[in-house]
């Protein structure tokens, strides 16, 4: 969740920053207001051996420091993520959350590569949009620099938007495939238990009396009766059911019978 900080309190070392973090973060010492923007780096390795050896992290930190010098900035702190997978959203990583928690308007964040900070286009798009709105510059060195404020920005957002849409489509497809497989195996996927069935464990089992009522519905429907007329006929025969349930049961029966 993103929240704007009171400008009068933003310069204090105890400010919460633009992003609220779930866990407490040790406050950083702020620069005087007239000393220019604060500059932070972000580095990450995904495996514990890489973190222990430190070479990859050392290289990333040297690259960040060198790039900051080109901008005339001094890195206040590099947030180093050791042994954390990039598949985790930035805000759910210990150092990623700590970084987001201290950011304020005018700050600069530098990371060597897009994949050090993001592996999901959805996450990247959300964070980049939030940083841009909050006037925080994010420099990804491998993408040519400031991805929130210069000519690179539009290209990056366009590409990420396209990739994010593809990610959403793949997610929907995977969910649909899982649900279809669960249905084939008789698993109950939640929601209201349909007429004609009862829940048992993680699946549904038929209720004989209601299944017989569904067959009666199909017969009446074939005779041309409306859903409400079928409801009234069944009610008169001692089966209490709404016209909505009648419609749902008939559609499910039609699908089951091809």
Model pTM score = 0.53
The larger pLDDT score, comparing residue 81 to residue 46, is at: 81
Indicate if the pLDDT at residue 67 is higher than 60.
yes
User: Is residue 90 a part of any domain in this protein?
Assistant: yes
Do 136 and 232 belong to one domain?
no
Do 141 and 17 belong to one domain?
yes
pLDDT-based confidence at 145, cuts 50/70/90?
confident
Yes or no: say if 79 and 40 are a contact pair by the CB < 8 Å rule.
yes
Q: Is 137 an active-site residue?
A: no
Average pLDDT along the chain? 77
- Looking at the chain, the whole-number percentage of residues with pLDDT higher than 90 is 31
User: Is residue 245 a part of any domain in this protein?
Assistant: yes
Tell me which residue range forms the domain holding 217.
197-256
Q: What is the pLDDT of residue 10?
A: 38
- Average pLDDT, stretch 223-239? 92
Indicate if the pLDDT at residue 158 is higher than 80.
no
Do 128 and 217 belong to one domain?
no
Indicate if the pLDDT at residue 258 is higher than 70.
no
Do 203 and 246 belong to one domain?
yes
The number of folded domains in the chain is 2
How far apart CA 9 and CA 203 sit, in angstroms, is: 55
CATH number at residue 55: 3.40.50.1390
Do 207 and 151 belong to one domain?
no
Yes or no: say if 17 and 104 are a contact pair by the CB < 8 Å rule.
yes
Q: Residue 111 forms beta bridges with which residues? A: 140
Q: Which of 46, 120, 137, 153 is catalytic?
A: 46
Do 211 and 155 belong to one domain?
no
Q: What is the pLDDT of residue 128?
A: 86
């Amino acid at each position: 969740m993103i929240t704007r900080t009171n400008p009068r309190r933003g310069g204090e070392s105890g400010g919460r920053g633009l992003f609220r973090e779930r866990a407490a973060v040790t406050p950083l010492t702020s620069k005087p207001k007239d000393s220019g923007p604060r500059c932070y780096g972000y580095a990450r390795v995904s495996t514990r051996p890489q973190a222990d050896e430190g070479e990859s992290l050392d290289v990333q930190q040297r690259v960040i420091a060198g790039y900051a010098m080109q901008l005339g900035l001094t890195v206040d702190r590099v947030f180093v993520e050791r042994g954390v997978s990039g598949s985790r959203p930035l805000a759910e990583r210990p150092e990623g959350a700590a970084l987001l928690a201290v950011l304020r308007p005018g700050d600069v964040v530098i990371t060597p590569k897009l994949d050090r900070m993001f592996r999901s286009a959805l996450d990247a798009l959300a964070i980049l949009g939030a940083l841009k709105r909050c006037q925080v510059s994010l420099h990804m060195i491998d993408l040519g620099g400031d991805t929130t404020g210069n000519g690179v920005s539009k290209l990056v957002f366009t590409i990420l938007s396209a990739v994010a849409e593809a990610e959403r489509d793949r997610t929907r497809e995977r969910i649909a495939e899982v649900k279809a497989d669960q249905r084939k195996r008789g698993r109950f996927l939640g929601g209201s238990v349909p007429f004609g069935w009862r829940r048992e464990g993680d699946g549904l089992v038929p209720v004989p009396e209601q299944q017989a009522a569904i067959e009666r519905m199909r017969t009446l429907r074939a005779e041309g009766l409306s859903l409400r007329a079928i409801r009234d006929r069944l009610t008169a025969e001692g089966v209490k059911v709404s016209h909505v349930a009648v419609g749902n049961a008939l559609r499910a029966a039609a699908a089951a019978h091809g």
